Amino acid sequence: MENIKKAAELIKNSKKVFALTGAGISTESGIPDFRSSSGYYKKFDPIRALSVDTMIGDPKRFYSEGYLILKDLNDRKPNNGHIVLAKLEEEGYLSGIITQNIDNLHFEAGSKNVYEVHGETRGVHCIKCGAKYDFNYLKNKIEDGEIPPKCEECGGVVRSNVVMFGDMMPDDYTKATYELQDTDLLIVIGSSLTVSPVNFLPRYVEDLIIINNTPTPEDRRAKFVFRENSGEVLMNIYNEVMNG
């Protein structure tokens, strides 16, 4: 518990704190880590299942593989880790979150300032005219057998807002890099920091707290490293921040 107390003090004494979250924070919500032995990628080749080329060139394969992953994420609920981060933001100890996750759980938990650098599964859009719809529009089209789903405005193909293999990084990534320019503490949660370009983000920040079950390339320079489930660690840190 000594490191929990010290981590809480570091958070309280830092002028600007951000969190960077990866798949590991959502495993307690029943979402398997894409790169674990039990993850989705054990069933599908990720570069094919969630690629722009497959979505456009082989839509039947995309909607029988990649789409199933996106659909599954819409039924999940935030866990203690997501809720604690929302509370830390509400109390003024956290300036925002940068997330690699597309599961919407930070928003579900009540976080306000969230940069989704790999997109999200709440909405979809037409790649021709840009018309926007919620995810149920896509879901209903697929269930009615319309593959690929079409836009009711112009007839163009409708796709999810997830950043897939072959896509450019979204504006949220650029905005996140600017946010980190004057951030003095970054809390990395549930990320192996092996996926580019997100793995470069910690280099913008001097002080790091890392909460991850496996080693990361940034462990050696982190102030504190916790090899435990993120929900429990974050709850302990939150309690210490508020009551310590």
Active site residues: 118
Other CB atoms within 10 Å distance of the CB of residue 94? 24
- Bridge-based pairing of strands 17-21 and 123-126 is unpaired
Q: Is 234 helix (H, G, I), strand (E, B) or coil?
A: helix
Residue from 212, 235, 232 nearest 224 by CA: 212
The DSSP 8-state label assigned to residue 153 in this structure reads: T
- As a whole number of angstroms, the distance between CA 106 and CA 228 comes to 20
In order of 19, 41, 219, the CA distances from 162 in angstroms are 21, 16, 29
- As a whole number of angstroms, the distance between CA 77 and CA 103 comes to 9
**Quick one: tokens of 156?**
């163009």
